[in-house]
Structure 1
Amino acid sequence: MTPAKNDPRSGSVISTMMAVLRCFDSEHRHLGVVEIAEGTGLHKSSISRLMSTLEAERLVERDPVTRRYSLGLGLLSVAGTLLADLDVRRAAYPLLVELADRTAESCSLMVWTGDQAVCVEQVPSSQTIKHTTAIGTTYGTTASSSVKTFLAELGRAEVEALLTGSRLELQGHRSPARLHEDLARVAREGVAVNDGDTDPGEVGVGAPVRDHRGVAVATVLVSAPRYRTDAQRLAELAEHVRWAATEITRGLGGQSVPRAVGQG
């Protein structure tokens, strides 16, 4: 019998690779070489060599203990253009839920309008005393952590233009020079902090979400009452926000790499 066009035994490298990747599904997330060989009809040695290649390309990942494989994050990079077209709210929501569970604080997704940050999704804290950001809420001051996250992506001249020709208000910084110093730190560290600068009773921590082009398309924001957010807790929130932003970025086919854009 002549092998079908998509039969891995047809000799096509692409067909073989796709046959291997299709072995993984919701019921078979972790597979060993023997299982993949049985599923494709290929010899174990051939599968072993192919899996090494796929692992090098990050299309699969191997558990160092069980030696079993699972699909890798490299697949997201391949599909980045398609994934970036998906609603960022849909991609972010499960991570916002988990972030709210991890931090026990209110978590939001913010996007940039050009001179303001606007909330497009929120998961409120389960605690009685909390700070929430209703969908549609906008922030237009440089003290806002979400605004700083977006401004840190811009060049100095672009920021100056926004300060003089838009609704953006200089707040929490004594001068534009101090703002630029703060934005350079945000770009280096990948996280922005608002420690009571817009509201003495509130703390906000934000981190950028990037698409497959490396462009910041949203910000993950955690808001918390300041009375229960000391320096150690603030550092913990920053780590949690970085984690969530990184995971959402991966879901969009991007990579979270802090970049000092135009702030030199």
Structure 2
Amino acid sequence: MSEARSEPRGASVIVNVLDVLRCFTVQQPIVGVTEIAEQVNLHKSSVSRILSTLEQERVVERDEQTRKYRLGLGLIAIAGPLLANLDVRRVAYPILEDLREATQETAVLNIWEGSESVSVEQLPSPRLVKHTSVMGSRYRTALSASVQLFLAYEDPQYREKLLTEGSIDLTQMPINTYLARLETVRERGYAVNYGETSAEEVAVAAGIFDHRGQLVACAMIAAPFYRVGAEELEQLCLHTVSAADQISTRLGHRKEK
């Protein structure tokens, strides 16, 4: 009986640890005990104990100047096997290298996690001025190139739910106009974000399909807006689609003729 009663407590401790870790985001990489306690609705002493244990395991580390915390290198050991087992990531890497070489821009691989596009690989442009983001960055803005691409192939009912309930940030155009845009994305096989989410960025995303014909990822190019005119954009689209097709072929996908 005592063992059965202890299960909810153990489960709640694990949930609390995960809630604490979720407080570290790309937008807020360094967080203090008080901030975390407010976000997860725990006492500061409980948060301090969790962070102290995580620090011992190098999952978090303390910033010496602010005495706040950031994620630590110990997470790499945990996440490494997951990333290594993403077949699409292994297959895509050499082709992304070729894509970066051909365009001289940042080549990225993104996957879809239900309501967010997540970057799982990034090869920065060799140029001094480049557009990059933090590995693991998540995107839920409707006009992001990767989000457009994934939503274009999403189940229509689920897609509409995401858009109407606000899981995807669509504030720049009516939903019907956006849905028509997604149809165009699906027809041509790639999506473009030409300074629509950031005046400084251009991005092109093309779909990667597996042997079942299912969309599993997207190859993407990200570039500074100032050096992408109409001709350059056309070339970026061609190279990105070509790279995505090559990765798809290696995954066993056969294009319909």
Q: TM-score, normalised by structure 2?
A: 0.65
Which residue pairs with 2:234 in the alignment? 235
Q: Residue 234 of structure 1 aligns to a residue in which SS?
A: helix
Change (3 A) 1:183 1:214: same
Supply the AA of the counterpart residue of 1:126. Answer: P
Cα deviations by residue, 1:116-146 (Å, 9 ceiling, x for unpaired)? 1000001000000000132100110110000
For 2:253 and 2:141, locate their aligned partners in 1 and report how far apart those are by CA, in whole Å.
28
Which residue pairs with 2:54 in the alignment? none
Which residue pairs with 1:104 in the alignment? 104
Which residues of 2 match residues 4-15 of structure 1 at below 5 A? none
Supply the AA of the counterpart residue of 2:235. Answer: E
Which residue pairs with 1:210 in the alignment? 209
Q: Which runs of 5+ in 2 are unaligned?
A: 1-84
For 1:150 and 1:255, locate their aligned partners in 2 and report how far apart those are by CA, in whole Å.
19
Q: TM-score, normalised by structure 1?
A: 0.63
Supply the AA of the counterpart residue of 2:227. Answer: R
For 1:117 and 1:90, locate their aligned partners in 2 and report how far apart those are by CA, in whole Å.
19
Change (3 A) 1:223 1:86: closer
CA RMSD of aligned residues (A): 1.6
Q: Residue 97 of structure 1 aligns to a residue in which SS?
A: helix
Which residue pairs with 2:129 in the alignment? 129
For 1:93 and 1:156, locate their aligned partners in 2 and report how far apart those are by CA, in whole Å.
31
**Which is bigger in relative contact order (C-alpha 8 A, separation at least 6)?**
1
Q: By how many angstroms is 1:236 displaced?
A: 0.6
Q: Residue 115 of structure 2 aligns to a residue in which SS?
A: coil
Change (3 A) 1:151 1:213: same
Q: Which runs of 5+ in 1 are unaligned?
A: 1-84, 259-264
Cα deviations by residue, 1:9-51 (Å, 9 ceiling, x for unpaired)? xxxxxxxxxxxxxxxxxxxxxxxxxxxxxxxxxxxxxxxxxxx
Q: By how many angstroms is 1:154 displaced?
A: 2.0
Q: By how many angstroms is 1:156 displaced?
A: 3.1
Which residue pairs with 2:220 in the alignment? 221
Which residue pairs with 2:116 in the alignment? 116
For 2:193 and 2:224, locate their aligned partners in 1 and report how far apart those are by CA, in whole Å.
12
For 2:112 and 2:96, locate their aligned partners in 1 and report how far apart those are by CA, in whole Å.
18
Which residue pairs with 2:247 in the alignment? 248
Which residues of 2 match residues 4-83 of structure 1 at below 5 A? none
Q: By how many angstroms is 1:109 displaced?
A: 0.2
**Could you say which structure has the larger radius of gyration?**
1
Q: By how many angstroms is 1:246 displaced?
A: 0.2
Change (3 A) 1:237 1:257: farther
For 1:141 and 1:256, locate their aligned partners in 2 and report how far apart those are by CA, in whole Å.
29
Aligned 8 A contact 1:212 1:255 in 2? yes
Supply the AA of the counterpart residue of 2:130. Answer: K
Supply the AA of the counterpart residue of 2:184. Answer: R
Q: Residue 126 of structure 1 aligns to a residue in which SS?
A: coil
Q: By how many angstroms is 1:167 displaced?
A: 2.5
Cα deviations by residue, 1:171-229 (Å, 9 ceiling, x for unpaired)? 44x10011111100000000100000110010000000000011000010100011100
Q: By how many angstroms is 1:97 displaced?
A: 0.4
Supply the AA of the counterpart residue of 2:112. Answer: W
For 2:238 and 2:93, locate their aligned partners in 1 and report how far apart those are by CA, in whole Å.
18
Q: Residue 208 of structure 2 aligns to a residue in which SS?
A: strand
Q: By how many angstroms is 1:255 displaced?
A: 2.7
Which residue pairs with 1:184 in the alignment? 183
Which residue pairs with 2:140 in the alignment? 140
Q: By how many angstroms is 1:254 displaced?
A: 0.6
Supply the AA of the counterpart residue of 1:132. Answer: T
Q: By how many angstroms is 1:256 displaced?
A: 4.4
Counting matched residue pairs gives: 173
Q: Residue 111 of structure 2 aligns to a residue in which SS?
A: strand
Q: Residue 125 of structure 2 aligns to a residue in which SS?
A: coil
